[in-house]
Structure 1
Amino acid sequence: METISIDKKQKTFRKLGFTYLETAEIVIALKHLFANYQIHYNKLRNFHWNVESQDFFELHQEFENEYNKVNERIDIIAERIRVFGLKPSMSIEDTLEMSDIKQVPSERMEASDMVYELIKDYGILHDKMLDVVNAALESGDNVTEQIITEFMKDLEKRNWMFTSWSKS
């Protein structure tokens, strides 16, 4: 009987039908989205705690709604990265460096400036989501594409709503 030896170094590792090489661009794009969402989440928490205006009750609640939704999305993105056999962990320094969304001091910000920052962050998040969708489409990863497309659909609606609010 002939024995077949398999060298694990030569064997292509696959996760759900994709190789690490095929998912590398997706994971990189997911990590950039992940980092931006983390900073965005922190900003929303600060806006929630520090908003003051005649619109306090409305914005206080809306910022809470947003950061709860973002928290769920961060978890979904982290789990998607894990699906590909990698870990989403990044240090705070790595997150700050990788994120295009920047922290802002919110203690003295006007409510309208907080909403402007939120809308600005939506533009950055949307761009990062497009990067993920494009990477997923190139690799034929329709699951990641669908997850992020759903995020985009909601983000576009929330952008419209906050943009409409800011015109008052």
Structure 2
Amino acid sequence: MDLEVKKEKKKAYSKLGFKPMEAVELTDALNNLLANYSVHYQKLRNYHWNVKGPEFFDVHEKFEDQYNDAKVAIDDIAERIRVFNQTPLSTMADYLKKSEIKETGTDLSAMEMVEEILQDYRMILEHLMHVVEMAVEHGDSGTEDLAKGLIKKVEKNHWMMLAFSQQS
């Protein structure tokens, strides 16, 4: 192989083999996911602390389980962004600006909280699917694997909350 061609190839790729624009696209999708997960996480904590009524015992513990899942996902997503030598979003202000998931107050009924969380899961799944598409497009099996693992957890949590919401 010609030395000039070797130099050109080397310049076009980062140490992981991703072109700079590919890394930017992947980390942008991951930061969008991170922002949505982070608002979702805080929402789950809010609901865990403030749920009242006859469904308290049913959902209080489930919200805690789910915010613990979200906390792990947030860390995994942020660390994946660091793999690309990029900086993950890390302030609530940044999360709130970027996130499609919005905060709510503390005055919701338990069932309204469950409905909010179901909507959050639908939005998170959309973002996860976008991350998978980006990862496949750019040949990024690490990000693809991360997102697909999160999809399984989100789908399961969505199913459980949906089944609970249909109790009547």
Q: Same fold (TM over 0.5)?
A: yes
Indicate if the aligned counterparts of 2:114 and 2:161 stay in contact, CA closer than 8 A.
yes
Which whole-Å deviations, capped at 9, do the CAs of 1:130-156 have from their partners, x for residues lacking one? 111110000000111111011001111
Matches of residues 116-131 of structure 1 in structure 2 within 5 Å? Answer: 116-131=115-130
Partner residue, 2:64: 64
Matches within 5 A, 1:16-27: 16-27=16-27
- What is the CA deviation profile of residues 90-132 of structure 1, one whole-angstrom value per residue up to 9, with x for unaligned ones? 43222111000000002x2100000000000001000010111
User: SS at 1:119's partner residue?
Assistant: helix
Deviation at 1:15, TM superposition (A): 3.2
The corresponding residue for 1:3 is none
Q: What residue number does 2:155 align with? A: 156
Look up the match of 2:140.
141
1: CA distance, partners of 2:72 / 2:28: 20
Structure 1 residue 13, shift from structure 2 partner? 5.3
Runs of 4+ in 1 over 4 A off after TM superposition: none
Letter in 1 for 2:128: M
Give the deviation of 1:161 after TM superposition. Answer: 1.1
TM-score, normalising length: structure 1: 0.89
CA-based RMSD of the aligned residues comes to 1.6
How much does 1:26 deviate?
Answer: 0.9
Structure 1 gaps of 5+ residues are: 1-9
Do structure 1's residue 91 and structure 2's residue 121 form an aligned pair?
no
Question: 2:91 corresponds to which letter in structure 1?
Answer: S
Residue number in structure 1 paired with 2:112: 113
How far apart in 1 are the matches of 2:153 and 2:70? 11
Q: 1:44 & 1:159 partners in 2: Cα distance?
A: 13
Q: Deviations over 1:39-61 (max 9, x none)?
A: 00110000000001222122110
Looking at secondary structure, tell me which structure has more helix per residue. Answer: 2
Give the Cα–Cα distance (whole angstroms) in 2 for the partners of residues 15 and 136 of structure 1.
17
The one-letter code matched in structure 2 to 1:46 is N
Scaled by the length of structure 2, the TM-score of the pair is 0.89
The aligned length equals: 159
CA distance in structure 2 between the aligned counterparts of 1:33 and 1:46, rounded to whole angstroms: 20
Distance in 1 separating the partners of 2:90 and 2:120: 20
